[in-house]
Amino acid sequence: MKAQTSITRSAPAKARRALLGMAAAAMLAGGASLPVRAQDAASYPSRMIRITVPNPAGGTSDVLGRLLAKELGEMFKQPVIVENKAGGNGQIGAAFVAKSAPDGYNLLLLDMSVLTIGPSVVAQLPYNPQKDLAPITIPAYSPHLLVVRNDLPVKNIDELAAYAKKSGKPPSFGTPLASISQLAGILIAQDRGFEFNVIGYKGGAQALADLAGGQIDSAMASVVATNQLVQGGKVKAIAVTSAKPFAATPGVPTVASQIPNFVTGSWQGLLAPANTPPAVLDKLQDAVQRIVTRPEFAKHLQELGSEPSAMNRQQIAEWMRTETQRWGKVVKDNNIKAE
User: Rg of the Cα trace of the chain?
Assistant: 23
Give the chain's domains with CATH numbers. Answer: 43-141+265-334 (3.40.190.150), 144-257 (3.40.190.10)
Whole-number pLDDT of residue 12: 37
Beta strands per DSSP E along the chain: 49-53, 80-84, 106-111, 133-142, 144-148, 172-176, 197-201, 218-222, 236-240, 266-273
In this structure, what is the dihedral angle of CA atoms 318, 292, 109, 32, given to the nearest 10 degrees? -100
Cα 173 to Cα 216: distance, rounded to the nearest angstrom? 7
Identify whether 35 is preceded by a cis peptide bond (ω within 30 of 0): no
Whole-number pLDDT of residue 60: 86
| Amino acid code (one letter) for 211 | L
Whole-number pLDDT of residue 33: 44
Cα 235 to Cα 3: distance, rounded to the nearest angstrom? 72
Residues facing residue 201 across a β-bridge: 176
For Cα atoms 65, 324, 319, give the angle at the middle one, nearest 5 degrees. 65
φ/ψ (deg, to 5) at 82:
-110, 130
Cα 204 to Cα 146: distance, rounded to the nearest angstrom? 12
214: CB partners within 8 A, 6+ apart:
149, 150, 151
Share of the chain above pLDDT 70, in %: 88
Q: What is the DSSP string of 77-120?
A: TS-EEEEE---GGGHHHHHHHHTS-SSSSEEEEEETHHHHHHHH
111: CB partners within 8 A, 6+ apart:
55, 60, 61, 90, 180, 266, 267, 268, 269
Whole-number pLDDT of residue 40: 66
- Which of 68, 64, 135, 70 is CA-nearest to residue 97? 135
Sheet of strand 144-148: strand arrangement: 197-201, 172-176, 218-222, 144-148, 236-240
Cα 165 to Cα 154: distance, rounded to the nearest angstrom? 13
Cα 61 to Cα 67: distance, rounded to the nearest angstrom? 10
Q: Tell me: the pLDDT tens digits for 8-19? A: 333 334 333 433
3-class secondary-structure state, position 39: helix
Low-confidence ranges of the chain (pLDDT < 70): 1-40, 339
Run of H or E residues at 122: none
On whether the CB atoms of residues 234 and 212 are closer than 8 A, the answer is yes
- What are the distances in angstroms from CA 232 to CA 96, 150, 226, 241, 242? 39, 11, 10, 21, 22
